[in-house]
Each structure stands twice: as structure tokens, then as C-alpha cells.
Amino acid sequence: MDLEKSHERPDWRNEKLGSRIRVALWLLEVIGEGNTFTKEQLHDAFPGITTIDRRLRELREDGWVIDSDRTLSHLGASEMLLTRAGEPIWEPGRVQLRRFKRFSAPQLRQKVLERDSYSCVHCGLSSVEGPTEAPVNVVLELAHVVPLAAGGSDDLDNLITLCANCHRLLSSGVQLPDVDSVWHLVQGLSPQDQARLLAWIAMDRKPPTQAEKAWSLYRRLRPEQRTSVAHRLGQAVLDRTDADSSD
Ligand SMILES: [Zn+2]
């Protein structure tokens, strides 16, 4: 956590602050980023404020990532997770600046998630898995295609769904690609990969391959379980290599 920020932060119990600001401060100071909370805890912290649930929705519009079981499959039905704090709305000037945008923003996150079928557009991981598959713990986030700092907007077209891993990965590479560099890479692909890419482009998403699904499930096994799978796979690949070389 940024020390500088926490120095400037007012006390969430200060009733002179608006309830939205107080909820934001409560989330940061009492719950903390990366921790879960329930609606009951929220109601207990703000007794008598009947519209307190609405404050959560508003914070989401200010870029606060507050996940529920809809976006994070391992959460319980009444559980929520403060995945990431957004705009420091307690800072003077912030509230007015954002307020007029609120009317165009509601359900934007929902729209983006629905359009992207609740899956990461980069790796295809989804929080909504089929009934026969083990649930996979996926954190879905929204990301800007063109970053806000580079003049990007909060419009639907400029927002994509990414899993937290891909989001971190992609935002660490600051440079934006251009058409030539993308085309150079595409030209160098094998015909099969080019056809695969074309299919992804047509679908506007990359569904996970069976191997990627297996990898994602494998990564969620306990160490001794991983060893077991690794051992069996090693044996299978080795057997096949032996069979090929004896042909
Ligand atoms: Zn991803």
C-alpha cells in the first residue's frame, strides 16, 4: 500500500463526509485490498443508511473492483471481495468531476463482461465454467485497450475483460502495438495458427484450448497432486516417443 496516500486519507467514521466516500474509506481501512467482506458487515458499519448497497455500485463506476460470486467463482453467495481500490474519491475535486459521468456509466462493467462472455479476452479463462468442469478461480477485471493516460476513453469499445494475471502481464508492457508489428507477427505464423487466429478474430475472443484448461486446473492442484500428474504425463510422452522411434 502506498504510504503517501494513507497519510492523506480521512477517517471513515467522519459523518461529515458523504456515505460514498465513507464506504470507500471503510473498504480500504477496515477491509483492505484483497480481502473479502459481506453485505452484513457493510450494513453493521453504516447502521441506518438504507441506500448503502447503492454506494458499492457507485464505487464500481469509479473504477473500484468489488467482485461477487458472479465475477469470482470461488466467492460465497453473500461474499464480496475488494479486489482493487479505484479513484481516491475523498480527494477534493474528484467527486464533482466524476458525478456527471455516472449516468452513462451504470452497468458498463456488466455490459463489457457480458459481451466478453465472462472470460478473459487474452487467455480465454472464464469464471463461468460448464457444469461438468471443476470451478476455476478466476478474477475478471476490466481493462482499457488504449490506456486513459494515452487518451483512451471509458467507452464500451475501449474496454475489455481480462483475468487479473493477463491484466498484470499486459499492463507491464507499456508500449502499444501498431499494425505493422502485429502484421509482421501474423505473417510469420504457421498456416494452422493463421487459421486459428482468424477464427478467434471472427469470434472476437479466444476460447481456452483443452491444453490451457488442463494447465489452469493443474496449477490449482496441491504440490503432491501436481507431481502425480507431472509424473503420469512424463511417462505418457516418453512412451509415445519410444513408440515413434521404433517405427
Ligand atoms: Zn487471462
- Using the mean position of ligand 1's atoms as its centre, give its distance from the Cα of residue 113 in Å: 13
- Is the model's pLDDT at 99 over the cut of 60? no
Q: Which three cell numbers stand for residue 37?
A: 467482506
Mean pLDDT, rounded, for 140-150: 80
- Using the mean position of ligand 1's atoms as its centre, give its distance from the Cα of residue 127 in Å: 11
- Using the mean position of ligand 1's atoms as its centre, give its distance from the Cα of residue 167 in Å: 7
Q: For the packed helices 52-61 and 108-115, what is the interaxial angle rounded to 10 degrees?
A: 60
Coil, strand, or helix at residue 42?
Answer: helix
- Using the mean position of ligand 1's atoms as its centre, give its distance from the Cα of residue 99 in Å: 31
- Using the mean position of ligand 1's atoms as its centre, give its distance from the Cα of residue 13 in Å: 38
Mean pLDDT, rounded, for 125-131: 55
Domain boundaries, the chain: 1-104, 209-247
- Is the model's pLDDT at 182 over the cut of 50? yes
State how far Cα 225 lies from the chain centre: 27
Question: For residues 103 and 91, which has the higher predicted lDDT (pLDDT)?
Answer: 91
Read off the DSSP letter of residue 205.
Answer: S
Return contacts of 39-43, CB within 8 angstroms, 24+ apart: 39/78, 39/80, 40/78
- Residue percentage of the chain with pLDDT more than 90: 23
Q: List pLDDT tens digits, range 14-57.
A: 888 888 889 999 999 999 999 999 989 999 999 888 888 888 88
- Using the mean position of ligand 1's atoms as its centre, give its distance from the Cα of residue 165 in Å: 6
Query: Residue 137: what pLDDT?
Result: 60
- Using the mean position of ligand 1's atoms as its centre, give its distance from the Cα of residue 107 in Å: 22
Mean pLDDT, rounded, for 101-127: 72
Cα gap 229→225, rounded to integer Å: 6
- Using the mean position of ligand 1's atoms as its centre, give its distance from the Cα of residue 27 in Å: 26
